[in-house]
Structure 1
């Protein structure tokens, strides 16, 4: 199960790092035009902050355990990313962007699984 959790955490880290980098690197207007209509309702600073949280969460899924420095932070990073995905699902549901909610759930479930595994039976 430890290897499975590492694989799930790695895939999540790649996905969140890429999504966060996109939010930091592109202006709000370009994000909104590329299908992220929700970006029009948020300030550029808020979008950059969301991107930064996603990047930090992605790093938190891997680095603490890989460097053996406070590996409990892996579980906390997974919890944080689960909260981000739950919040994103709420935003999409309120905006009636129902096609985006399953994507949030697909990222929420493995984040919860990593948090459960790293807090519980498969902690470091």
Structure 2
């Protein structure tokens, strides 16, 4: 294996790890928002008591984001969709950051920033450096 091929393999592995990490994070967050009792959610995230519709909506978006980041690439069907989902995830995280800042919850935006940066890495990597070919 030559040096460029090793870098490409390492990048592809790193991208898969990033995708799996975000799938786990988004699926966990979505499942919490959709299935955890409202009282427990309100204890963790006080804003949820006032916005139950928003909680369900963002829970669904989180699950779809998680699935969209990995399934198209894994199934090798419309793999470019992974890039689009990663970009949409960045927009979702920016919206979450704005929401938390508007509520004075700046301390809670670290995860959103991490997810946005990781999504940007996935979008860049899958679009520019490590395409996944459709079958």
TM-score of the aligned structures, taking structure 2 as reference length:
0.84
CA distance in 2, matches of 1:97, 1:73: 32
The ranges of structure 1 where at least 4 consecutive aligned residues each deviate by more than 4 angstroms after the TM superposition are: none
- Counting only pairs closer than 5 Å after superposition, residues 1-124 of structure 1 correspond to structure 2 as 1-34=11-44, 36-42=45-51, 44-124=52-132
5+ residue gaps, structure 1, are none
Shifted more, 9-18 versus 78-87: the winner is: 78-87
**Count of matched residue pairs:** 122
5+ residue gaps, structure 2, are 1-10
RMSD: 1.3
TM-score of the aligned structures, taking structure 1 as reference length:
0.90
